[in-house]
Structure 1
C-alpha cells in the first residue's frame, strides 16, 4: 500500500507588493484551503503535511502548527503534521511542548517533520547563520526526543543548555513519528541512522531512486532494514478532465509558483553558498535562470499533470521506480482557484488513491 498525502505550500497569489496586501482576500484563501483539507479526508487521503516559510508571499504558513491544531478539530481519521518545522527558527524546548500538545489535540494522529532549512533569504532576514543550521538541527532533534520521553532531563550542547527541566504536557506517545526533509547525502544518511522517515522533492525520478538507495544503505549500516513506508516523494500534481485543460491551467500556475519560489528560496550567489550547503548548488541552478521549463519538469517527473488516467500512470510508475511507500501531492499552488483545486483533488481521490492503495512496492 502506498499512502497519499496532501502537501501544502500555499502562496498569497495576488499583488506581491506588501503595501497592497488585502486581509479579506487572505481570509478567503485560508477559508477555502481549510475546506479543501477537510474534503481530503472524505476523498481517501491518508494525511496532510503543512509547511513553514517566512517573510514572502511564496507562503502564508509561517506557523503551520496552528493549522494542524485547527484541522484536528474538523477531521477524525487523517494523520496531520508539518513538513517541516525549521529548527533553527525555534527554541527546541518550545517545539517539544507544541509537539506534545498537538499529539493530544490530534488524538495521536500527529506526524512530526523537522528540517534544517535551505532558503537563504529567510535565514538572512531572520539573522541566523546558515553555517550553524546542521548543528542546531541535530541538537534540536535530540533535545526534543529527550523532552518527550523523560519526566526531568538535562541537555548541554553547543547551542542549547538546560538543567533539570521537564515539559508539560508530554505527548500521548513517548516516541512520535519523525520525518525529515532531505536532499543532501549527509542528511539522508543521518535520517536513516536515526530511524527517521524522510521525503524529498523536485529531483528527477532516477535521482530520487538513488537518494532512496542511499537511505537504505545507511539504514543497513546502522543495523536495520529500511522499509518503503519510511520514504516519501513529493510532486506537484494537477488533474483535469482533459489533457489540454490540465495543461492550460497548470502551466501558468507553475509560472506563478516558481516566480515566488525563486525570490524566496534560491541562493543569491550559487557559486559561493554557505558552508554545508554545497550540495544545493547543482539542485538550485535550474531555478536560478529567468525561466523554468514546464516541459522539462514534466519530463523528469517533478510535475504530474493531465487526465486522471495519465497522472495515475505517472505516479504509479514513479513510486515503483523509486521504491517509496508515501506520495505527497503538492496540488494547490500558484494562482489555482478553489474550484480548480477541488476538482483536481476529487479526481485524484477517485482514480489515483485506489491505485496506490492496491500497490505493493
Structure 2
C-alpha cells in the first residue's frame, strides 16, 4: 500500500514587486489554501506536508510549523508535517522543542521533515555560507534526536553547545518519524544509514529509480532492510475533465511557478557552486536555461497532467517503476485558482488515491 500526500509550496501568485504586496489578497490566499487542506482529508489523502522558504513570493510559508498547528486543530485523521524545516535557518534546540509540542497538538500525527537547503538566494540573504550547510544539518539532526530521547542531554558540537539541559516537553512518541529532502548522493546515503525517510522533486522517473536503489544499498550496508515506505516522490499534478482542459490550465500555471522557482532557487553561476553542492550543477542546469519544455517535463514524469484516468496511470506506473510508497501531490502551484485546485484534488481523491492505496510494493 502506498500513501498520497499533498505537498504545498504556497506561492504568492500576484505581483512580485514587494511594494505592491496586497494584504487582502494574501489573507484570501491563506483562507482558501487552508480550506483545500481541510477538504483533502475527506478526499482520501493521507497527509499534508508544508515547505519552508524565505524572502521571495515563491513561498509565503516561512514558518510551516504554524501551518501544521493550524491544520491539526481542524482535522482528525490527516497526518500533518513539514518537508522540510531548513536546519541552518534555525536553532536546532528550538526546532526540537517545536516538534515535541506539535507531536501533542497533532495527537501523534506529526511527520517531521528536515533539510540542509539548496536555494542559494536564501542563504546569501541570510548570510550563511553554503559550505557549512551539511555540517550544520547533520549536527542539528543529531542534537534533536539526543534532546528527544534523553531526560537530560549534553551536546558538544561545532555550532551548538548544551550542558545538562532538558526539553520541556519531550515528544509524546519516543521516536518521531524523520524525513529528509534528498537528491545528492551523500544525503541519500546518510538518510539510509540513519533510518530516515526521504523524498525528492524535479528528478526524472528513471533517475528516481536509481536514487532509491542507492538508498536501499546504503541501508543494507548499515544492517537494515529498507521498505517502499522509506521513499517519496513529489510531482506537480493537475487533473481536469479532459486532456486539453488539463493542459490549457496547467501549462501556464506551471510556467508561472517555474519562473518563480528559477529566481528563488537556481544558483547564479552553475559553473562555480559552493563546495558540497557539486551534484546540483547538473541537476539545475536544465532549469537555468530555456531547454526544458512543458512536454519534456511531462515525458520525464516530473509533471502529471490530464484526465483522472490518465493521471492515475502515470502515477501508478511511476510508483511501480521507482518502488516507492509515498506520492507527494504538488497540486496547487503557480496561479491555479481555488476552484481549479479543489476540483483537481477531488478528482485525485476519487480516481488516483484508491489506486495508489491498492499498490503492493
- TM-score class normalised by the smaller sequence: over 0.9
Please identify, of 318-327 and 151-160, the stretch whose mean Cα deviation from structure 2 is larger.
151-160
Partners of 1:258 and 1:292 within 8 A in 2: no
Partners of 1:10 and 1:334 within 8 A in 2: no
Q: State the secondary structure of the residue aligned to 2:113.
A: strand
Deviation at 1:194, TM superposition (A): 0.1
Deviation at 1:292, TM superposition (A): 3.5
Specify the alignment match of 2:72 in structure 1. 72
**Separation in 1 of the partners of 2:293 and 2:195?**
36
Specify the alignment match of 1:271 in structure 2. 271
**Separation in 1 of the partners of 2:168 and 2:177?**
19
Q: Which runs of 4+ in 1 moved over 2 A?
A: none
Alignment of 1:180-329 (within 5 A): 180-290=180-290, 292-329=292-329
**Separation in 2 of the partners of 1:81 and 1:342?**
20
Specify the alignment match of 1:344 in structure 2. 344
Deviation at 1:149, TM superposition (A): 1.0
Q: State the secondary structure of the residue aligned to 1:316.
A: helix
**Separation in 2 of the partners of 1:252 and 1:162?**
50
Q: State the secondary structure of the residue aligned to 1:352.
A: helix
Cα RMSD, aligned residues only: 0.6
Alignment of 1:67-216 (within 5 A): 67-216=67-216
**Separation in 2 of the partners of 1:150 and 1:178?**
17
Q: State the secondary structure of the residue aligned to 2:215.
A: helix
Partners of 1:149 and 1:174 within 8 A in 2: yes
| Unpaired segments ≥5 residues, structure 1 | none
**Separation in 2 of the partners of 1:11 and 1:123?**
19
Deviations 1:80-128 (A, max 9, x none): 1000000000000000000000000000000000000000000000000
Q: State the secondary structure of the residue aligned to 2:263.
A: helix
Deviation at 1:291, TM superposition (A): 6.3
Deviation at 1:289, TM superposition (A): 1.1
Q: State the secondary structure of the residue aligned to 1:31.
A: helix
